[in-house]
Structure 1
Amino acid sequence: MDRLRAINYFIKVADLGGFTAAAAATGVPASSISRRIQDLETELGVSLLHRTTRVVRLTELGEFYLEHVRSGIEALDYAQDLIKDRAASPSGSLRITATPGYGRLLLLPAIKELRRKYPDLVVDVELTDQLSDLSGNEVDIAVRATANPPDRAIARKLADEDYVLTAAPAYLNQYGLPDTLSDLEKHRTILYRAPGRIIHWQADTDGGWVEARTRPAFICNIGQELVAEAVSGTGLALVPRWGVRNQLANGSLKAIALKDANLSLTRSPSPGIYLLYHQPKYRLNKIRAAVDFLLDHLVAQPD
């Protein structure tokens, strides 16, 4: 019996909750996966899975076995990667996930340069708001907006997630410059749509947090479109400063400061944009090269 293959099948069934899902993920018939796990159970002399027509779940001993073999398989995979990584030039597959707005605007252009420098790297990028587990082997590097980076990951700050109220000079010439929070009620605004809801602006005032009243003129779930609308003169936009750094520098957008409030998209502590990875993986040539390159190209310089 190929014990290592059987263990990998067992882990996949446990993670995905059934033979059919495991078969789809591995490209191996469900019947073959089931037989290999049965062989493993025979060798161990215990049942690892409860099988019914509707669901497959771990036995108590199956849960115990999974906990111990998973770390062993991950250690084997890591050792395999280290041996394969002896080549001088970084190569192989590199999996990166990132928050969509920052990913589209800043990360993807940097990755294009990374691939140009290291043509043997195969970069697999997913732009998503879903959090990925760095502890396994599914993701090598994550770029996330968070106020509390995970303790078990190395977190390198790329930028502050501070928000700037901004508008095009042409819009301000036509409608005037808002000076106070109440002035916003007279202005057209551009709002961000998150999954399931519209994000309304929050104002930190001397009296505490309040929701800013505005007259939305455009709403979209793509940050770059909000910036483009602001540049075209549609209205006021509240966006991360890193998202409009170029527009503020070239004068196509103007930053606006209210006298009586600081605006944000959240009442929580302001997050930052972090590059996250696990320290053991940094020993891999491809991870080290990518992390160092992205930090060099993405860490925000003081204005």
Structure 2
Amino acid sequence: MNFEQTGPLTEDGMDRLRAINYFIKVADLGSFTAAARATGVPASSISRRIQDLETELGVSLLHRTTRVVRLTELGNFYLDQVRSGVKALDYAQDLIKDRAASPSGLLRMTATPGYGRFLLLPAIKRLRRKYPDLVVDVELTDQVSDLAGNEVDIAVRATARPPDRSIARKLTDENYVLVAAPAYLDAYGTPKSLSELGQHRTILYRGPGRIVHWQAKTEEGWVELQTSPAFICNVGSELVGEAVDGTGLALVPKWGVESQLADGSLKAIALADAELSLARSGSPGIYLLYHQPKYRLNKIKATVDFLVGELARKGRAGNAPGDTSGQSQSTP
């Protein structure tokens, strides 16, 4: 909400709402000075507003010292009660303003890094050309954000089981393909089985806190492969680049190497006795996720519809709205 200075706190609802917003900001940031910087309102004005609110309520909401500001027990209780109400008011205000306007304002997104760099960011460039008043804040991360908690508006995730509390629109299947450069295969041969694969150098992905080793599905079940890595990195485009340069074999999502397979700079390799993957869970896909109520906002609806139209078409896959199940599990 917008913050601005006013006169003394009165029975007017807007004055009370401003005071409540100041209180929430001080509670979140832990100081009047930080709240003043965030709102552009003098710390003294914020303090007076909150004091007027405390007078109206007849309780102390904050413990004030020269070093720190802490919530009282009743302050904690009051914060829990008013925060959800203020969020609801913000949402209602945004919804009404947004109904008659073209898509605009800030839209927060998070996406798995590999897919984000290869396909999502180029699509967002096209989105912004279509809707120039839309400000897109994108974070590429393997960390899963809370859509319901209002941390982000839209998430793009690789998962076999989309979260059941979000709307999941499938953009593409997450099929993995074993690839190598023609020069590498000419020099070291093309593996045709798991035993032959063990004689080759590999290029591995580093996920959050660990190296992601390849998984092989055989007639006897799943086994984790211990290969001889020549290069390890957490940036998918670097893995593809190393494979093109002939460093070794790479196991990557097919959507990440379609152009290289098409121009011949990489060749796909199929093993006779195993199917390779980076995860053992189900049939993973790339999903665009959002919280159902937000779809009523023009900026969310326009972005979702545009990205699904662009990316599902490119991935030759797409689900109708409302395809949801399970829990989100991030994969590279």
Instruction: Tell me if 1:251 matches 2:276.
Output: no
The residue that corresponds to 1:172 in the other structure is 185
Residues 275, 120 of structure 1: alpha-carbon distance in 2 compared, 3 angstrom cutoff = same
Match among 83, 89, 93 for residue 76 of structure 1:
89
**Alpha-carbon distance in structure 1 between the residues aligned to 2:261 and 2:121:** 21
Match among 154, 160, 168 for residue 173 of structure 2:
160
**Alpha-carbon distance in structure 2 between the residues aligned to 1:182 and 1:20:** 65
**Alpha-carbon distance in structure 2 between the residues aligned to 1:34 and 1:209:** 62
**Alpha-carbon distance in structure 2 between the residues aligned to 1:263 and 1:98:** 24
CA-CA distance at 1:25 after TM superposition: 4.2
1:196-216 CA-partner distances (Å, limit 9, x unpaired) = 332222223333333212221
Residues 38, 180 of structure 1: alpha-carbon distance in 2 compared, 3 angstrom cutoff = farther
**Contact map agreement 1:74 1:137 (CA 8 A) in 2:** no
CA-CA distance at 1:156 after TM superposition: 0.8
Residue type at the aligned position of 2:186:
N
Residue type at the aligned position of 1:249:
A
SS of the equivalent of 2:86 reads helix
**In angstroms, what is the RMSD of aligned CA positions?**
2.6
**Contact map agreement 1:103 1:127 (CA 8 A) in 2:** yes
Residue type at the aligned position of 2:207:
A
SS of the equivalent of 2:257 reads helix
* Segment of structure 1 superposing worse, 206-215 or 104-113: 206-215
**Contact map agreement 1:100 1:127 (CA 8 A) in 2:** yes
CA-CA distance at 1:226 after TM superposition: 0.5
**Contact map agreement 1:184 1:212 (CA 8 A) in 2:** no
Match among 172, 185, 201 for residue 198 of structure 2:
185
Residue type at the aligned position of 1:242:
W
**Contact map agreement 1:156 1:275 (CA 8 A) in 2:** yes
SS of the equivalent of 1:83 reads helix
CA-CA distance at 1:32 after TM superposition: 5.0
**Alpha-carbon distance in structure 1 between the residues aligned to 2:100 and 2:227:** 57
**Alpha-carbon distance in structure 2 between the residues aligned to 1:200 and 1:267:** 11
Match among 316, 328, 331 for residue 301 of structure 1:
316
- Identity over aligned pairs, percent: 81
Match among 124, 128, 132 for residue 115 of structure 1:
128
CA-CA distance at 1:88 after TM superposition: 4.8
CA-CA distance at 1:144 after TM superposition: 1.6
The residue that corresponds to 2:143 in the other structure is 130
**Alpha-carbon distance in structure 2 between the residues aligned to 1:259 and 1:279:** 44
**Alpha-carbon distance in structure 2 between the residues aligned to 1:50 and 1:273:** 48
Query: Any gaps of 5 or more consecutive residues in structure 2?
Result: 1-8, 10-14, 318-332
**Alpha-carbon distance in structure 2 between the residues aligned to 1:3 and 1:34:** 14
The residue that corresponds to 2:322 in the other structure is none
1:114-164 CA-partner distances (Å, limit 9, x unpaired) = 111112222222222232232344422111223332322211111222322
CA-CA distance at 1:103 after TM superposition: 0.9
Superposition TM-score, scaled by structure 2 size: 0.81
Residues 249, 290 of structure 1: alpha-carbon distance in 2 compared, 3 angstrom cutoff = same
**Alpha-carbon distance in structure 2 between the residues aligned to 1:147 and 1:33:** 48
Superposition TM-score, scaled by structure 1 size: 0.88
Match among 139, 146, 167 for residue 159 of structure 2:
146
CA-CA distance at 1:55 after TM superposition: 6.5
The residue that corresponds to 1:36 in the other structure is 49
The residue that corresponds to 2:255 in the other structure is 242
The residue that corresponds to 2:5 in the other structure is none
Residues 111, 178 of structure 1: alpha-carbon distance in 2 compared, 3 angstrom cutoff = same
**Alpha-carbon distance in structure 1 between the residues aligned to 2:67 and 2:159:** 39
1:43-79 CA-partner distances (Å, limit 9, x unpaired) = 2123334567776554443343333322221221112
Residue type at the aligned position of 1:202:
Q
* Segment of structure 1 superposing worse, 118-127 or 291-300: 118-127
Match among 263, 279, 284 for residue 276 of structure 2:
263
Q: How many positions carry a matched residue from both structures?
A: 302
CA-CA distance at 1:89 after TM superposition: 2.6
CA-CA distance at 1:35 after TM superposition: 4.3
**Alpha-carbon distance in structure 1 between the residues aligned to 2:149 and 2:85:** 12
Residues 23, 130 of structure 1: alpha-carbon distance in 2 compared, 3 angstrom cutoff = farther
Match among 285, 299, 302 for residue 286 of structure 1:
299
Query: Any gaps of 5 or more consecutive residues in structure 1?
Result: none
Residues 115, 206 of structure 1: alpha-carbon distance in 2 compared, 3 angstrom cutoff = same
Residues 83, 165 of structure 1: alpha-carbon distance in 2 compared, 3 angstrom cutoff = same
**Contact map agreement 2:142 2:208 (CA 8 A) in 1:** no
* Segment of structure 1 superposing worse, 52-61 or 119-128: 52-61
**Alpha-carbon distance in structure 2 between the residues aligned to 1:185 and 1:31:** 69
**Alpha-carbon distance in structure 1 between the residues aligned to 2:164 and 2:75:** 29
CA-CA distance at 1:17 after TM superposition: 5.3
Instruction: Tell me if 1:202 matches 2:215.
Output: yes
**Contact map agreement 1:171 1:235 (CA 8 A) in 2:** yes
The residue that corresponds to 1:274 in the other structure is 287
